[in-house]
Amino acid sequence: MNSHHLSNYSYTLSDFDYLLPEELIAQKPAIPRDHSRLLVYNRKTGTITDDHFYNIGSFLPQSTSLVVNNSKVEKCRLLFDGGKKEIFVTKVVNNKVLEAMVRPGKKFRPGREEKLASQLSAKTLSVAEDGIRTIELSHSLDHELLQPFKHTPFPPYIERDESLAERYQTVYAKDSGSKAAPTAGLHFTPELLDRLHKQGVKKKEVTLHVGLGTFAPVKTESIDDHIMHSEWYQVTEEQAQELNRSSSITAVGTTCVRVLESAPRKEGKFVPGSGETDIFIKPGYRFKTVDHLITNFHLPKSTLLMLVSAFAGFDEIRKIYAHAIRNKYRFYSFGDAMLIL
């Protein structure tokens, strides 16, 4: 893998590929949550330290603001007929009409009504170019008939296990709207947050509803051609004021980075705002607000890996990931964590 120290180097998709032994993909989270491992990378010294997440307080700068995403994962995956039919809700238009990914596609043709369960059916109104269906359900989405069919949208590389649903939410999740968990936050326990608070590290909340676009595979070899999907975020008046009082900002996860780097600012100060962000952060990007980052280990060729490469340095991330694989860190959503200082 070549080093790219030239600032005008244009990265390709292959630059962000790496080989991961399958046994390093975490299927279950650490118990307790904060007993996952923690890789600490110091950008100033270039050193890597191996530790555990419950010790993160000894690495965080004094009185840094820990910015978390309080979005809650929706049970947006509807499974019928023993899992043979699936409606994955990507957008709720109204309480009966929704946009969704479906399988098998042939059952959901425009104008066709498909029986889902004894009293439930779905009519396909239209199909978009990308295969997303607009569907009208026979009952509203919050109807009790639908409750037993609702499932947590675990990523495809994690075996479906509804007993882990609560572990796929952060302990501070409150605003429902995400299609996936902001996974860097899964390592925190109320006790750990309390301990950090006592040492002067204060938790500040923002909201970004994680859309499927975060996980949409990049298909263009030239990454500059990739189109990011947009995701809804919000920074309230109170949150903006708190962020402006921060001596430094430690973002918990790539979703927080996306909010902080997209949020409106006037004269260098955060102002309240909400909207859609389609920010694509890749090497060469100059960070305006984030000083430190807590994040998990991401999939090859993903926009999330590109974001952390922009933050820590392209060559540095390759070195860090090689170290993590050698030392058998656990990868992806239920895996271990990394702190980039």
Same structural domain for residues 172 and 282?
yes
Same structural domain for residues 51 and 166?
yes
pLDDT in tens, 177-233: 999 999 999 999 999 999 999 999 999 999 999 987 766 779 999 999 998 888 999
| Chain center to CA of 123 | 31
What is the CATH classification number for the domain harbouring 127?
A: 2.40.10.240
- Total domain count for the chain? 2
The model's confidence at residue 7, banded by pLDDT at 50, 70 and 90, is low
Q: Is the residue at 189 inside a domain?
A: yes
Last residue of a domain, one of 151, 182, 198: 151
pLDDT at 1: 41
Answer whether residue 53 shows pLDDT above 60. yes
DSSP for 42-103, please give it: ETTTTEEEEEEGGGGGGTSPTT-EEEEE-EEE---EEEEGGGTEEEEEEEESSSSEEEEEEE
pLDDT at 313: 97
Q: Is the residue at 8 inside a domain?
A: no
pLDDT at 14: 96
pLDDT in tens, 258-269: 999 999 999 999
Q: Is the residue at 1 inside a domain?
A: no
pLDDT at 8: 60
Nearest Cα to 133, choosing from 96, 91, 95? 91
| Chain center to CA of 318 | 21
Same structural domain for residues 69 and 91?
no
Average pLDDT over residues 46-60: 98
Whole-number Å distance between alpha carbons of 264 and 270: 6
Q: Is the residue at 23 inside a domain?
A: yes
pLDDT in tens, 280-314: 999 999 999 999 999 999 999 999 999 999 999 99
Q: Is the residue at 6 inside a domain?
A: no
Same structural domain for residues 336 and 300?
yes
Token representation of residue 260: 């902080």
Same structural domain for residues 184 and 266?
yes
Average pLDDT over residues 254-278: 96
pLDDT at 311: 98
Question: Are 295 and 287 contacting, i.e. CB atoms less than 8 angstroms apart?
Answer: no
Answer whether residue 156 shows pLDDT above 90. no
Whole-number Å distance between alpha carbons of 12 and 301: 9
Average pLDDT over residues 320-340: 98
Question: Are 165 and 93 contacting, i.e. CB atoms less than 8 angstroms apart?
Answer: no
Average pLDDT over residues 34-53: 98
Last residue of a domain, one of 151, 184, 212: 151
Same structural domain for residues 212 and 113?
no
Average pLDDT over residues 265-284: 96
Token representation of residue 206: 């923002």
Token representation of residue 12: 């390709």
Same structural domain for residues 82 and 47?
no
Helix axes 254-262, 303-312, angle to 10 degrees: 70
Same structural domain for residues 307 and 191?
yes
Whole-number Å distance between alpha carbons of 238 and 268: 17
Q: Which domain holds residue 95?
A: 77-151
Which stretches of 245-290 are DSSP H helices?
254-262
Question: Please, what is the average pLDDT of the chain?
Answer: 94
| Chain center to CA of 100 | 19
> 296 in the Ramachandran plot: left (φ > 0), alpha (ψ -120 to 50) or beta?
beta
Last residue of a domain, one of 151, 175, 192: 151
Same structural domain for residues 224 and 298?
yes
pLDDT in tens, 308-326: 999 999 999 999 999 999 9
- For the sheet containing 133-137, what is the strand order? 113-117, 120-127, 133-137, 97-103, 85-92, 77-80, 150-151
Whole-number Å distance between alpha carbons of 48 and 35: 19
Same structural domain for residues 189 and 334?
yes
Whole-number Å distance between alpha carbons of 213 and 209: 11
Answer whether residue 2 shows pLDDT above 90. no
Q: Is the residue at 312 inside a domain?
A: yes
Same structural domain for residues 119 and 215?
no
pLDDT at 215: 64
Whole-number Å distance between alpha carbons of 119 and 14: 49
Question: Are 3 and 316 contacting, i.e. CB atoms less than 8 angstroms apart?
Answer: no
pLDDT at 13: 96
Q: Is the residue at 297 inside a domain?
A: yes
Answer whether residue 5 shows pLDDT above 90. no
pLDDT in tens, 75-128: 999 999 999 999 999 889 999 999 999 999 999 999 999 999 999 999 999 999
What is the CATH classification number for the domain harbouring 313?
A: 3.40.1780.10
Average pLDDT over residues 239-259: 97
Q: Is the residue at 7 inside a domain?
A: no
Same structural domain for residues 223 and 315?
yes
Whole-number Å distance between alpha carbons of 199 and 222: 45
